[in-house]
Amino acid sequence: MNLRLTRAARPSTGDRSAALRARRPALLLSVAAAGALLVNVVTAGEPAAQAEPELASVSVAEQLGITEQAPHEESAVAAVDSLGVLAASRSERQAQQDAAVQAQAAADQAELDRRAAEEAARLAAEQEAARVAAEAEAARAAEAAAASARPGRGTSAAVAPAGSYQDYAMGKLGGSGSEFSCLEKLWGKESGWNPNAQNPSSTAYGIAQFLDSTWAGTGIAKTSDGYRQIDAGLIYIENRFGSPCGAWAHSQSKGWY
């Protein structure tokens, strides 16, 4: 065997190093490919939950804590605002209605108080008229008694009034034509100057058409005597209205006196 030839055929150390350096890139590429294949196999076999999470991008608004409202959230806010406005409007209307009811109740109460005061004044006037009439009747009785006791008169009865009722009333008024004119129209309307006139729907009776309660206020008992009715009527008119024309004006305004 030729040793020289054999040594010549074996590559030298330098040649092997060069060959290894030439094959190194290909080897590295093979190892990288095998590693990638292994990673893909392992990753595909793992559950999705165990996969490494990817980093999500964060906006500037989210970093500052500002979040955008979804469209349905904006609609909900608008609906709440509308409900608030509606509730306020209903409360305002209710307050207005309550105020109107209170105002009407106050007006009704004021009217009731006014009527009660007017009725109280009327009763007080009737009571005062009764007192005055009683005093007048007492004075008249005392005068009649004194007149009957005067010399030359003896115990003769008082002379009864004469003439028409209108003439008698005219004399009682002192001959005042204006006041008699009002009285004539007033009692002409009430009874036609009939001392027996009777209202079919009440106790109104006589020339002056007095109720039973009104008779009591004059101090003169209810009677069919027309002259005494005129006396009672004039007493009532003077105490209540001051004059026949005052009574006539009230009758024209209210329909009664």
> Which tens digits make up the pLDDT trace of 145-166?
655 544 433 333 445 676 789 9
| Helices 165-172 and 226-240: angle between axes, nearest 10 degrees | 40
* Domain coverage including residue 257: 83-149+164-257
Domain assignment of residue 16, yes or no: no
In a domain, 3, yes or no: no
Q: What is residue 63's predicted lDDT score, i.e. its pLDDT?
A: 55
| Residue 95: per-residue pLDDT | 85
Kindly state whether residue 174 falls inside one of the protein's structural domains: yes
Contact by Cβ (8 Å): 162, 226: no
Name which of 157, 159, 128, 153 is nearest 240 in CA terms. Answer: 128
Report whether 233 contacts 210 (CB < 8 A): yes
Rg, Å, the chain Cα set: 63
End-to-end Cα distance, the chain: 175
Q: Does 238 fall in a domain?
A: yes
* Residue type (1 letter), 190: E
Per-10-residue mean pLDDT of the chain, 257 residues long, equals: 46 52 54 49 46 49 52 60 74 86 90 90 84 76 58 43 87 90 95 94 94 90 95 95 95 92
pTM for this entry: 0.41
Any domain includes 158: no
Closest CA to 232 of 254, 204, 206: 206
Query: At 150, phi and psi to the nearest 5?
Result: -70, 150
Q: What is the pLDDT of residue 133?
A: 76
Give pLDDT, residue 46.
47
Yes or no: say if 233 and 204 are a contact pair by the CB < 8 Å rule. no
Which residues does 154 contact at the CB level (< 8 Å), separation at least 6?
148
Residue 225 lies in a domain: yes
Does 185 reside within a domain?
Answer: yes
175 in a domain, yes or no? yes
Which helix (H) or strand (E) segment holds residue 75: the answer is: helix 71-148
Number of domains making up the chain = 1
